[in-house]
Amino acid sequence: MKKIISILLVAVLCPSLLAVAETEAAKEQGIYVLMNIPYDKFYASEVSVTEGLDTVSSATLNKPRTGGLAGGSYHVDPAGSDISGIIFPVYVEDANILSTLGGIEITDESSVEITVTNRGKETTTVYEGKDALFEAPSYSWYALDGVPALYKTLDAAALSFSAIEAEAQSVEGQASFVYDRHADMTLSVEGISEVLNGANVSAVILTADDGTSVGLRHIANLWRGSQIGFAYDSAIYKALKGKRISEIKYITLDAVYAMQVDIAVSDDALLPRLTGTYIELFPEFAKEEYKDYWMECIKAYEQDDAAAEAYYTALTQSFMGTLKGQAAIDAFGGDPESMVFDCFFENGISKLVISGDVIKGYDAQGNELFDHAYAFEGEAPVSFFGMDMGIALRVYKTADEDAGAYRYFSFTDDTLAETFHIEFRYGESMEALGDYSDGEYAYWLAAGINEGYRENQIKSCIKLFVDENVGGEEE
């Protein structure tokens, strides 16, 4: 009786103590789990832009099922047609709710065997225990023994998840846009790989200088752990274009890492796609090591050895002229068949660097010749001997008054991703930029290939050049 009276006295005198006890008891009924969370549900509490966070569709079928590429994500379809979301710890107040969400329970006895073929090599991997979440329905879960380092809290009634409550660890490094065929705008982030140390990346958030924040999805925007990028037709680009990325945040199962950056996202659809470091194309074309491949491509159209040799000479030498403008007009105007186009970088440029809306030029000794930001100015229709060619150069202008010969840059629609090279002109005046046979730019169109190109890339460029200039004659 004495014990009952003491409990009643506590209830009367200290009702707050009972409330705490009841809260702790309720907490004990909850559970921490690893859960498959759809992208839109995961990011809803983390970013300001929620468009474009649906399931990632994949035509390759292998990438979504390859842990080294898509680690941190999960896919529902065993065939690999999708990447559905993120595997992340969750606190669930009532464990009984889990079975009503549509997922399945994954235990230490669970396993899934996945066979993929990448680059012609077949590999089979068995994912056991919690790793079996990699191929399981959304909201599938694996019960954890303790409290995870990071987690979200499930609101079962609304089927929503709280933001991650964690202080981000600052990471020193730098980031810039680079050329990569995986995405239109690929960010190279230096300094993060060493910090991640091989850990799977669950999510990445990009924040702009005006507070706009977007979430990235595996394979579409995040691959091989730390490499990130996005396409021009994505909600990410729509949200960030014309702004500056100020922070890149990586989220793993154990920590949040943040890098402060300052990266301009151009509002133009072409110039950022040209991001890269370029050297002159035709001196690379003419290297002896590629001659056999030139001949192979040419002989697909021309079987005669002498004719094939003549084609090779013409295609590698007829674009290495040294005259442009009036000097070229005087030399070739009366005899168009003798013309030789100048496809070199002029005005002392040996290397051209494009990064977003910034273009820089360097001489052969590595000295910087210019460094300017450019904005889209308009189009310059292309003409040749007075004929409208039905195409146009996209012209960009810098606001820097001291730009001189580099005030205007104009580009064809060639890109490394599509044609394996770029073509462009630049000058102090926009007049005649589009005229290939008259004016101060006559018979000059610079052609570049990215520094450090791979053999398969220049071979693709050679084949394209032959197909257009030799194969095109058969049409």
pTM above 0.85, yes or no: no
Q: Decide whether 169-265 matches 274-474 in CATH topology.
A: no
- Domain spans, the chain: 18-161, 169-265, 274-474
pLDDT beyond 50 at 12: no
Beta bridge partners of 178: 186
Cα–Cα distance for residue pair 274/460, rounded to 1 Å? 18
pLDDT beyond 90 at 14: no
Q: What is the pLDDT of residue 8?
A: 34
Cα–Cα distance for residue pair 41/126, rounded to 1 Å? 28
User: CB-hemisphere CA count at 13 Å for 360?
Assistant: 11
Q: State both tokens at 235.
A: 């909600």
Report the percentage of the chain scoring pLDDT > 90. Answer: 63
59-68, 133-142, 163-172: range with lowest mean pLDDT: 59-68
* Residue of 333, 336, 366 whose CA lies nearest to 350: 366
CATH number corresponding to 169-265: 2.60.40
pLDDT beyond 50 at 13: no
Confidence of residue 61 (pLDDT cuts 50, 70, 90): low
Beta bridge partners of 467: none
3-state secondary structure 360-422: EEECCCCCEEEEEEEEEEEEEEEEECCEEEEEEEEEEEECCCCCHHHCEEEECCCCHHHHCCE
Contact 134, 67 (CB under 8 A): yes
pLDDT beyond 80 at 388: yes
pLDDT beyond 50 at 401: yes
Positive or negative, the Cα torsion across 426, 429, 430, 433? negative
Contact 356, 275 (CB under 8 A): yes
Q: Indicate the CATH number of 274-474 among 1.25.40.340, 2.60.120.10, 2.40.128.20, 2.60.40.720.
A: 2.40.128.20
The pairing of strands 85-92 and 152-155 is parallel
Per-residue pLDDT tens over the stretch 253-291: 999 999 999 988 877 767 878 888 999 999 999 999 999
pLDDT beyond 80 at 76: yes
Average pLDDT rounded to a whole number, residues 363-384: 92
CA trace torsion 176, 180, 185, 189 (10° rounding): -30
Cα–Cα distance for residue pair 359/189, rounded to 1 Å? 20
Contact 461, 419 (CB under 8 A): yes
Per-residue pLDDT tens over the stretch 138-187: 999 999 999 999 999 999 999 999 999 999 999 999 888 776 667 778 88
Cα–Cα distance for residue pair 286/232, rounded to 1 Å? 34
Cα–Cα distance for residue pair 291/309, rounded to 1 Å? 10
Per-residue pLDDT tens over the stretch 177-235: 776 667 778 888 999 999 999 899 999 999 999 999 999 999 889 887 678 999 888 99
